[in-house]
A = this chain, B = another copy of it.
Amino acid sequence: MKVKVITQILEANDRIAAENRKKFKDANIYVINLMSAPGAGKTSLLERTIKELNGKIKIGVIEGDIAGIDDALKIESLGAPVVQINTGGACHLDANMISDVIDDLPLKELNLIIIENVGNLVCPAEFKVGEDMKVMLLSVAEGDDKPLKYPLMFQESSALILNKIDLLPYTNADLGKIKRDSLTLNPGLKVFDISCKTGEGINEWANWLQELLK
């Protein structure tokens, strides 16, 4: 079997990301870059998190999607400030896109901004947007081979949220393997088992966020 390795130089956008970060820091806002494959449950997690932390942490959201405003409408219906970015063809958010919309959020009112990246396990991990922390979500229905096949996102993230654990009995996925491989790639990774459908584990995740923002 032939194995061909192709290298690609990716656009650097670190300078703009640093400017965004300074702006967030000056406003005393913690920023999370939330990443996952399509359909892992990023928007459902946001909805659960906003409800769980209602009255405790004031959350604003930047929604990144190729097309559509469905996710932003869901967030808006919960009363949280939200901006929708439609990237057109781009498969990830970059620092410049975030820079363009920062002032559309009521920064003075917020403690935390969660940036929901485009559903993609690859490029979002390569582009800083000005976040304090990257968090990734993996649906257990995607299988247990994802850490070794998409290592960068696991390495770049501070927390890994394993979603849809209610589906675990109906899949071949080995939750232990996912955790072992993830922690081998990134020993400092904080791992949560959750189900946005049943609500299981949301409390632990929300409490961890609260501690982080103290």
Contact = CB atoms under 8 A, between A and B. Distances in A.
Given A68-B148, A170-B170, A142 B85 contact: no
A27 B64 CA distance: 43
A175 interface: no
A70 B149 contact: yes
Given A8-B88, A39-B142, A119-B37, A1 B149 contact: no
A104 interface: yes
Interface stretch (A16-24, A48-56, A121-129, A204-212): A121-129
A65 B152 CA distance: 13
A86 interface: yes
Interface in A26-78: 37-40, 65-70, 72-73, 76
A213 interface: no
A84 interface: yes
Interface string A86-98: 1111110000010
Nearest to A5: B86
Given A67-B148, A120-B91, A149-B68, A84 B4 contact: yes
Interface string A138-149: 010111011011
A152 to B, nearest CB: 8
A38 B140 CA distance: 12
Contacts of A150: 38, 66-67, 119
Interface of A: 1-8, 10, 37-40, 65-70, 72-73, 76, 82-91, 97, 100-101, 104, 118-123, 126, 139, 141-143, 145-146, 148-152, 164, 166-167, 170-172, 197
